[in-house]
Amino acid sequence: MVKNLPIVPSAKPGSMAEAPSGIAWREQHPVIGDKCNQCLVCTLFCPEGALKQENGRVIVELKLCNGCGTCAVECQQKAIVIVAEYEGDRGVFPLKEGKA
Amino acid sequence: MSLILLTGSDAAAYGAKLAKIEVLSYYPITPAFPAMERLSKFIEDGEMNTQFVRVECDHSALAAALGASLAGSRTFTVTNSQALLYMTEVVYHTAGLRQPVVMAVANRALSAPHSRFPEHGDAISQDASGWIQLFCENNQEVLDTILQSYKVAEACRLPVMVNYEGYIQSHTQEEVEVPDQAEVDAFLPFKRVAALEVNNPQGLNTVTSPEFYMDYKYRQNEAMELASDMINSTARKFGRQFGRDWSGVIEGYKMEDAKHALVAMGSAVSDARIVVDALRAEGKKVGLVKVRSFRPFPAEALRAMLKSAELVTVLDKNIIFGAGGALGNETKSALYGYRSVPVKNYIIGLGGRDVGPEEIRKVITLSEERAKQQTAYEWFGL
């Protein structure tokens, strides 16, 4: 069934932010620790605008974060820790016997 | 209405003026430039209320027209050959964004080697772009087709190329009837449709996922298929109002009992009419099919016109290397599976090599002599 779409290919502002592609392939993301002094340098360097101040704290919007780690490098307080999305085995695994 | 001598370029300019275009964007190239010169004179003399956007390249010329169209204005540009290739990216944008831009194309051969002379290679290079492509046989048709194109483009939300050959048409004067402004206004009312609206902001041409892209393309193709009817009805309406019938997507000339059918488009059509008349006078049952709309291609109508022809000769002023002429290929494709009739495809007049009535008559004789020989296509005039 063909979808009914606008004649001019278009979308409301912010449509891209609702479903950013980063979520699918992000390998790591930052966690803001207690050493944060709210200097907001990280918010200036974040290429995705994923960091913002809310209620006196810096928070990460994970649906925007691409996991580049720039915030952790730029943080003068060393308050940001980068955490892996997946901790299990990586690479190509030999087939286990009896399983296709 | 007034009857005056106009070149094809002038006719295109008069068409754009009568259509009351609001934005003209242009970058100079030969042989399209006299149309722009004439339009800029109209603007300078205060005869048109048009914003003339001077740009730094052809890519920007169409981009400016596209932007202006997205903002809701009636826009026009004119180009050919290398400039059309340079525009190609925006040619596809304009079609995909469904903007009713009308572009006159003074067809010229493509480099290399460099040539400034006429053929259809430039337009054919854009045959998959999603633009309606109309081909004119004389200067009157250029003017009339520009007017009809805005009606078709704005109804179907598709851009239109109006093709006329460089020099043969663009620089050659013919008698042209220029209709009165009031009559054109009645034929061509303008309803503004703006995709870019200050009070309703939206992202245009956004990144589109596999979930939606194919559906957009289906709709675009659907609009193209439906455009044939609109081109036909617009031509009929134009004919009723102005007394000149350009017969929509296709025209048959003396095809009723024709055994040998010529198929052509562009300026070769008017020469072929002379040849058909001459051969008819000698008692030969020769007819002519003029393909006016190359995109959308009128396969069904062409098939109907060729239903009793015993030999079909297709004239192509273009070459798709390794595959033959574009019109020849379309004609064979239209007939395949319906009729088994020899279709002889002749590549003629590339890069300005002269093709007049005498040459077309020779092609007809050659085609009849070689009707039994199965060749995908042949070159004439080497």
pLDDT value for B222: 97
pLDDT of residue A49: 87
Q: Are B346 and B379 in contact (CB under 8 A)?
A: yes
The CATH class of B250-379 is: alpha beta
**Which residue reads 């169409």 in tokens?**
B62
Q: How many CB atoms lie within 10 A of CB B83?
A: 24
Best of B215, B222, B225 to disrupt the A interface (most A CBs within 10 Å) is B215
Q: Tokens 């309406």: give the residue.
A: B237
Q: What is the pLDDT of residue A88?
A: 78
- Half-sphere CA count of B237, side-chain side, radius 13 A: 17
Secondary structure E strands in A1-100: 10-11, 28-32, 51-54, 57-60, 80-84
Which chain A residue shows the shortest CA-CA distance from B216? A5
Please indicate whether residue A91 or residue A84 has the higher confidence score (pLDDT). Answer: A84
- A97 confidence band (pLDDT: 50, 70, 90): low
Whose CA is closest to B288, among B248, B268, B317, B261?
A: B261
- ipTM confidence: 0.85
Cβ <8 Å between B98 and A10: no
Which of A10, A15, A23 should be substituted to probe chain B, the one whose Cβ sees the most B Cβ atoms within 10 Å? A10
Q: Which pLDDT tens digit goes with each residue over B249-286?
A: 999 999 999 999 999 999 999 999 999 999 999 999 99
- Determine which of B97, B205, B206, B214 to mutate to test the interface with A (most A C-beta atoms within 10 Å): B206
Angle between helix axes B357-369 and B268-281 (nearest 10 degrees) is 70
- Domain coordinates of chain B in residue numbers? 2-183+209-242, 250-379
Helix/strand/coil for B3: strand
pLDDT score for A98: 61
Q: Which of B89, B79, B100 is nearest to B21 (CA)?
A: B100
**Is residue B138 classed exposed, middle or buried when 0-12, 13-18 and 19+ CB atoms within 10 A define those classes?**
buried
Residue B110, token pair as written in the block: 């493509």
The pLDDT of residue A89: 75
Residues of A with Cβ-Cβ distance to B207 under 8 angstroms: 16
Residue among A2, A3, A10 minimizing CB distance to B202: A10
Can you give the pLDDT at residue A64? 84
CATH of the domain at A46: 3.30.70.20
For residue A64, being part of any structural domain is answered with: yes
- Tokens 């393309």 identify what position? B217
Q: Report the distance separating Cα B54 and Cα B61, nearest Å.
A: 8
Instruction: Note whether A56 and A14 are within 8 A (CB).
Output: no
Q: Is residue A22 part of a domain?
A: no
Bin B283: left if φ > 0, else alpha if -120 < ψ < 50, else beta.
Answer: left
DSSP B320: B
Tokens (6 digits) for B10:
């002038």
How big is the A-B interface in CB pairs under 8 Å?
A: 46
- Kindly tell me the number of DSSP H helices and DSSP E strands found in chain A: 4, 5
pLDDT on residue A48: 86
Residue of B nearest to A21 (CA): B209
Query: What's the pLDDT at A92?
Result: 75
Q: Provide the residue count of chain B.
A: 382
DSSP-derived pairing of the beta strands B293-295 and A57-60: unpaired
Please count the other Cβ atoms lying within 10 Å of the Cβ belonging to residue B205.
15
- A3 inside 8 A of chain B by CB: yes
Q: Which CATH number fits domain B2-183+209-242: 3.40.1190.20, 1.10.357.140, 3.40.50.970, 3.40.50.620?
A: 3.40.50.970
Triad B375, B377, B379: Cα angle to 5°:
120
A49: in domain: yes
pLDDT grade for A23, boundaries at 50, 70 and 90: low
Number of structural domains (chain A) is: 1
Q: Name the stretches of chain B with pLDDT < 50.
A: none
pLDDT at A19: 60
Residue A63 lies in a domain: yes
Residue A39 lies in a domain: yes
Query: Which residues are registered as beta bridge partners of B165?
Result: B107
pLDDT tens per residue, range B21-50: 999 999 999 999 999 999 999 999 999 999
Q: Which residues of B sit within 8 Å Cβ distance of A?
A: 70, 96-99, 157, 195, 201-208, 212, 215-216, 218-219
Q: Is A9 contained in some domain?
A: no
Show residues of chain A in contact with B208, CB under 8 Å: 9
Task: Report the residue of chain B nearest A9, measured CA to CA.
Answer: B205
Q: Calculate the average pLDDT of chain A.
A: 85
Q: Which DSSP category does B66 fall into?
A: H
| Cα(B302)–Cα(B73) distance, integer angstroms | 35
Tokens of B217: 């393309």
Cβ atoms B330, B338 nearer than 8 A: no
DSSP structure class, residue B210 = H
CA A47/CA A69 separation, integer angstroms: 10
pLDDT reported for residue A20: 58
A14 lies in a domain?
no
Write phi, then psi, for B327 (nearest 5 degrees): -70, -35
Cα(A95)–Cα(A3) distance, integer angstroms: 42
In this structure, is residue A61 part of a structural domain?
Answer: yes
Mutating which of B157, B200, B204 best tests the A interface, going by the most A Cβ atoms within 10 A? B204
Closest residue to B195, CB basis, from A2, A8, A16: A8
CA distance A65 to A43: 12
Q: Rounded to an integer, what distance in angstroms lies between the CA atom of residue B382 and that of residue B379?
A: 7
Cβ neighbors of B333 (< 8 A, separation 6 or more) are B299
| Cβ contact B96–A9 (<8 Å) | yes
A24 touches chain B (CB under 8 A): no
State the amino acid at position B184 in one-letter form. Answer: V
Measured distance CA(B294)–CA(B330) in Å, rounded: 9
Both structure tokens of A97: 């016997």
pLDDT at B97: 98
User: How many Cα neighbours within 13 Å face the side chain of B312?
Assistant: 30
B205 and A13: CB-CB below 8 Å?
no
Produce one character per residue of B280-299: b if its CB has 16 or more CB atoms within 10 Å, e if not. Answer: eeeeebbbbbbbbbbbbbbb
Residue A77, domain extent: 27-84
pLDDT value of position B197: 87
Contact B207 A16 (CB under 8 A): yes
Q: Compute the C-alpha angle B301/B150/B38, nearest 5°.
A: 120
Burial class (CB in 10 A: 0-12, 13-18, 19+), B113: exposed
Same fold, B2-183+209-242 and B250-379: yes
